[in-house]
């Protein structure tokens, strides 16, 4: 921070202005808000190391003084940046505000100790600033989680537009494979239960985004029969690989994220494992199962918690609320 010429000028300094030059450069580099911290530390060093009142330096360790001034200023600036984030998201007097105050007091105590005994002028002890930064970052990210209104069982291209018009910002499509025709938006696998082809559904979403119209942030593809067709030459069009390729080529290429949904039974298949091992940044996987059974299967950044409708689980809505809250508090999910 301080130019080497200032250090070299020590021996020629007859009037004792070197310390003032260091302080001025420190002020210019760090700003007025930290001036008192740097000035106090350098002044303490000059007094302790024998800076005489007539302007003569005796044994002042400039390098050490400069390094310690840098360290103190950097710690204060790091804490100030963290405090700014806390101020933006919490009311004054919060637990996080108190933690910042305690860390600043520890820095002041260290500076006072060095003033009394310069031999203690070693690096500041580990204060836990990085840990506090991560704690604040994690809590802010949880507070700012997006809210998704997911339209359930959308099976036609018109249904996509209708759902978005009613306020949905994500849609769930049931995907069923047929040997003839490939993948369909179909929830039951009957001739009368199918809507449009999955390919047409994806292209409709891509078209909406290209035209700057309302479009879903992500598409939840509930895969009903993932093992129906093997991914070989003859059955590629109805294979899971074909479904994944279409999602990447049509949806993800335009910035629409994709969530692949599997049942608990399907999550034990080779198809599921092939999806998990090949997940890309815009993809995640949902399993209709319990976390302890699948915790080590999917990385945190590629999984989504889904507790399901309270009528289906039979546990009552209060249980659903409790499970979602527990999921958020556990830190095991990027989105709940």
- What pLDDT sits at residue 76? 81
CB atoms closer than 10 angstroms to residue 117: 9
| Assigned architecture for domain 150-304 | Alpha-Beta Barrel (3.20)
Q: Is 256 left (phi over 0), alpha (psi -120 to 50) or beta?
A: beta
Pairing of strands 218-223, 182-186: unpaired
Q: How much is the pTM?
A: 0.57
Q: How many CA atoms within 13 Å lie on the side-chain side of 309?
A: 4
The H-or-E segment that residue 262 falls in is: strand 257-263
pLDDT at 5: 46
294 token code pair = 């699948």
68 CB neighbour count, 10 Å cutoff: 24
Spatial separation of the C-alpha atoms in residues 35 and 37, rounded to whole Å: 5
Residue 273: CB partners within 8 Å, gap ≥ 6?
none
17 noted as active-site residue: no
Ordered by start, the domain boundaries in the chain are: 4-143, 150-304
Q: What is the pLDDT of residue 59?
A: 38
Give pLDDT tens digits along the chain (336 positions).
444 444 444 444 444 455 555 555 555 554 555 544 554 555 554 554 444 443 433 334 455 556 666 677 788 888 888 998 888 888 888 888 999 999 888 888 877 776 666 555 555 666 788 899 999 888 887 776 677 899 999 999 999 999 999 999 999 999 999 988 899 999 988 878 889 999 999 999 999 999 989 999 999 999 999 999 977 767 899 999 999 999 999 999 999 999 999 988 888 888 999 998 999 989 998 887 776 676 666 776 676 666 655 455 555 555 666 776 766 666 666 554
pLDDT at 92: 85
How far apart are alpha carbons 222 and 176 in whole angstroms?
Answer: 9
Closest-CA residue to 206 (of 256, 243, 158): 256
Candidate list 36, 76, 152, 203, residue with the active-site label:
152
Predicted local distance difference test score (pLDDT) of residue 2: 41
Q: DSSP code of 302?
A: G
Q: Go through 73-112 and write b for each residue having 16 or more CB atoms within 10 A of its CB, e for each that does not.
A: bebbebbeebbeebeeebeeeeebeebbeebbeebeebbe
């Amino acid at each position: 921070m301080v130019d080497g010429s200032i250090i070299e000028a020590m021996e020629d300094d007859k009037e004792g202005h070197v310390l003032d030059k260091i302080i001025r450069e420190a002020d210019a580099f760090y700003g007025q808000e930290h001036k008192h911290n740097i000035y106090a530390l350098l002044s303490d060093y000059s007094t302790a190391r024998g800076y005489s009142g007539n302007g003569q330096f005796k044994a002042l360790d400039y390098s050490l003084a400069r390094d310690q001034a840098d360290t103190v200023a950097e710690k204060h600036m790091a804490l100030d940046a963290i405090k700014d984030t806390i101020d933006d998201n919490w009311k004054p007097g919060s637990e996080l505000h108190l933690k910042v105050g305690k860390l600043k007091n520890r820095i002041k105590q260290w500076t006072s100790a060095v003033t009394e005994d310069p031999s203690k002028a070693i690096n500041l002890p580990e204060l836990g600033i990085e840990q506090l930064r991560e704690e604040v970052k994690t809590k802010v990210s949880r507070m700012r989680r997006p809210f998704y209104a997911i339209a359930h069982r959308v099976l036609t291209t018109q249904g996509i537009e209708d759902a978005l018009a009613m306020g949905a910002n994500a849609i769930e499509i049931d995907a069923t494979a047929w040997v003839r025709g490939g993948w369909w938006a179909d929830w039951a696998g009957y001739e009368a239960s199918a809507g449009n082809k999955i390919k047409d559904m994806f292209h409709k979403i891509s078209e909406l985004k290209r035209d700057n119209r309302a479009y879903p942030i992500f598409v939840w593809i509930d895969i009903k029969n993932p093992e129906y067709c093997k991914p070989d030459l003859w059955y590629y069009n109805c294979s899971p690989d074909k479904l994944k390729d279409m999602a990447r080529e049509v949806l993800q290429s335009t910035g629409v994220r994709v969530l692949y949904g599997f049942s608990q039974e399907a999550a034990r298949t080779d198809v599921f494992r092939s999806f998990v091992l090949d997940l890309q940044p815009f993809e995640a996987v949902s399993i209709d199962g319990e976390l302890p059974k699948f915790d080590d299967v999917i990385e945190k950044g590629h999984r989504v918690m889904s507790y399901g409708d309270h009528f289906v689980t039979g546990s009552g809505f209060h249980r659903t609320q409790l499970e979602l809250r527990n999921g958020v508090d556990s830190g095991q999910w990027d989105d709940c």
